[in-house]
Structure 1
């Protein structure tokens, strides 16, 4: 199955990556598009500005909504009702820390990040819906810049903001911005990245956080809870099987992609493998507990499984839960 490849560095998107993004669009729309048809189920929309029916004026009504043609015909004051705005605004917080440039399964974790972003983008950018993103890579804190159709910035620690816009052309531009952002040494501040979706306050909508969530939960838990107050939040966790358990392959040299430190691990020791698996289970349980406490929907994608099938099952389960009136 085709997947995005890691960006080779600053500059334009290579032709192969461009072709992969196009194939991703086709795959997502074919397999997921039919699952999201119909009205939005989520936070209540605002009153909107689309003209609707008229009714008689009552004390306290906004005089700016007076329907003067109906008032003149009936000689009774009428106001125009408005139809609720059904336009959806979605924001992505994409974490491209150095730990994402790793993978021992079918893909790199970075591949899954781009694939997940492509899926959410193509599923929401229809009917005038807008989608934007904040992309973080490298060490925090760093200045923010506005994204334009120009080469990706260079230097350590970069946060890119792609303004929320409607249209498939703009959506493809957003995906190119994610695909061409190089992974840099260090870990981005996931909490600060999520907080960028809280400031400035935005209209109610959907917020999607894509990361491996390896940063301590106390760093990003509070910003996600704050985000959940105003938006529907989806957390997409990207996992590699080697982060859950070690294989028995003897002495295994491992490098921390965020610090560059080299360690040699004796994987033939069953006690070490057991402790590693227990620590990994505890870490993933803490991540799931923090996301559940924040009220965010949680989707886990693995580099050794079919990510598209996992996403289909997740979307179908979410729709089924909403139609039954159950919670996440």
Structure 2
């Protein structure tokens, strides 16, 4: 962990010195088309990148982020989907560098949770007029994540959804793929232990959110990515039709209730157990399995956000 400047000093350094490195995953939904546009807008805003990386092989992202950070920029600008940003989070966490987000993916959950504009030009403008904030990280086992850990149907969907379908349909590709997976999916029992209390449920889908969005839709209007709390919730129940109905409602309306009015479990640390044991999708990476402890790490990540972002 490196020693951090004050957020005010860090903001001033970005605005005055404009030392940044640009990394764009050109395999993301819009990255290939908008890489040069992003570079042009950055230069119009007065930024002269120390170096730029147009990534054609996402498996090289860990190596590229290491190389980018060796240049000691004040701002690491990453363009891509939530998978690319999740990889960046692992490298930027606890370091004296801010993460700048270009929302070039399909759902852009992380960008939405930060209140960033989804328009490329407006997102880049945030680097000039916004501020540095410290937000919470989620930690699943020993794996840091920004947005979501999930269990059930979504894990299979993530491995099944076709890249060409995401390019054509955007975030609607996920619920449509879920419709093909759900008929053969088996419900499971989940046990969530928080503050000494054990909650039990039967479901096809369990999510543990650090961020405010999942699948491009708001989970609840009063969730924050910076409130020291995780939010656990199921989609549907043990009944496939109920899960299907809720998925379609969210896909068409994006509406959800507040935490006070929904079936949510909140806490700073959760023990997740399932019967049978299941793999966990942690920000798009499937490596861990239940049982699994998930917790928050307050102020674990430094990011560039709009001026009106509530930084606690």
> Is the TM-score greater than 0.5?
no
Task: Tell which has more relative contact order, 1 or 2 (C-alpha 8 A, sep 6+).
Answer: 2
> What TM-score do you get using the length of structure 1 for normalisation?
0.33
